[in-house]
Amino acid sequence: MRRPGTGMPRPRPGAAGLCLLAAVASAAAAPAATAAAGDTALADRLISVKWTVTWGGLPIYRVRFRTDIADGRYTAEFDARSTGVVEALAKNRTFWRSAGRVDGALMVPETMHQRYLMKRGGYRTVSMAWTPAGDIATRIEPPEPKSKRKTVPADMQRGTVDPLTALLNGLVVPRGGPPCKYEASMFEGRRRIDIHLSFHRYGKALRVKGHKLPRKATVCLLHAKRVAGFRTRHFKEVPKLHPLKMWVVRLEKAGIWLPVEMALKTRYGIARARLSKLEIR
């Protein structure tokens, strides 16, 4: 692959970009409520999804997402690995894991663990635990420099959920209900971002090799706003992020909403995520 010319921006996602990259994965496989009227319990299931993220038509990330719901508990794992030009210029490895309990038709987080490759090399871990009182205990190793960002105040952490749980909940809706109605406050140990989904239009979903998926899609927009934990210049330059566009189809037999394609406008161009493999058990 030809290396970009001198002065070309390196497409390494920032903090908000990784939150939306997590959205790409976690929105991909949110289980819906059961069909029976008034029954909001979630069926036990295991869902595994793989995505390819491209920029300018070139693959830059390979994403894997896996969620397991059983016996009133859930886990969700997200693994993103750079490839192509990003691997050559700004290698990235990111792993997130969330766990918690199922309360009716909602996921309630209890723990989240992150591990990501730092720009200077080596890995940083972020561990979070929700207390019964609603507080979040966070540990970051190695600690970030105090001058890098202001810590999110404790009162702004309460009532938040981690990105994987937030997007799982975003598509947990009654069978046949609209997939584009949800809002949440996300906190991933360092930054808080508020999100909401909105209906955009109806459209056609792309064909995915090896899978017979519906062609009729609902196009949703995921809006994200920086709230706290970011550098001052981020608030001044881009307080609101460009919305993430999702082409969502309904898999009636499996009982899930599934975005088969997503697109995000960035300073470097359009980044797209396309479904490459799906497994439901």
| Beta strand spans in the chain (E) | 30-31, 45-55, 58-70, 73-82, 93-103, 106-117, 123-130, 136-141, 182-187, 192-204, 216-228, 244-251, 256-266, 269-280
Provide the pLDDT for residue 16.
44
Report whether pLDDT(237) > 80.
no
Percent residues over pLDDT 70 in the chain: 79
In a domain, 227, yes or no: yes
Residue 246: how many other CB atoms lie within 10 Å: 30
In 3D, which of 117, 131, 137 has the Cα closest to residue 18?
117
Per-residue pLDDT, 239: 56
- Look up tokens 């999110």; give the residue: 152
155 in any annotated domain: yes
Triad 13, 117, 19: Cα angle to 5°: 40
Nearest-10 crossing angle of helices 15-26, 163-170: 40
SS3 of 208, please? strand
Give the mean model confidence (pLDDT) for residues 194-215.
91
Which residues form the domain of 104?
Answer: 15-280
* Per-residue pLDDT band at 168 (split at 50, 70, 90): confident
Residue 6 lies in a domain: no
For residue 133, being part of any structural domain is answered with yes
Residue 26 lies in a domain: yes
| Beta pairing class for 216-228 and 45-55 | unpaired
Q: Is residue 7 part of a domain?
A: no
Tally of structural domains, the chain: 1
CA–CA gap between residue 32 and residue 17 (Å, rounded):
26
Return the percentage of the chain with pLDDT > 90, whole number.
42
Residue with the bigger pLDDT between 167 and 87: it is 87
- DSSP bridge pairs for 75: 68, 99
Helix (H, G, I), strand (E, B) or coil at 19: helix
Provide Rg for the chain, Cα atoms: 18
Per the CB < 8 A criterion, the answer to whether 81 and 93 are in contact is yes
Instruction: Give the residue among 146, 155, 92 at the shortest CA–CA distance from 124.
Output: 92
pLDDT in tens, 91-105: 889 999 999 999 887
**Model pLDDT, residue 124:** 96
Whether 5 is covered by a domain: the verdict is no
For tokens 């309630």, what's the residue? 108
Answer for the pair 112, 188: CB distance below 8 angstroms, yes or no: yes
Joined together, the tokens standing for residue 157 give 């952490």
* DSSP per-residue string spanning 63-85: EEEEEEEETTEEEEEEEEEE-HH
> CB of 54 within 8 A of CB of 271?
yes
pLDDT category, 269, cuts 50, 70, 90?
A: confident
When pLDDT is cut at 50, 70 and 90, the band that residue 85 belongs to is confident
Long-range contacts of 139-148 (CB under 8 A, 24+ apart): 140/189, 140/190, 144/190, 148/231
The helix (run of H) or strand (run of E) holding residue 164 is helix 163-170
DSSP per-residue string spanning 20-31:
HHHHHHHGGGEE
The reported pTM is 0.83
pLDDT (0 to 100) of residue 2: 35
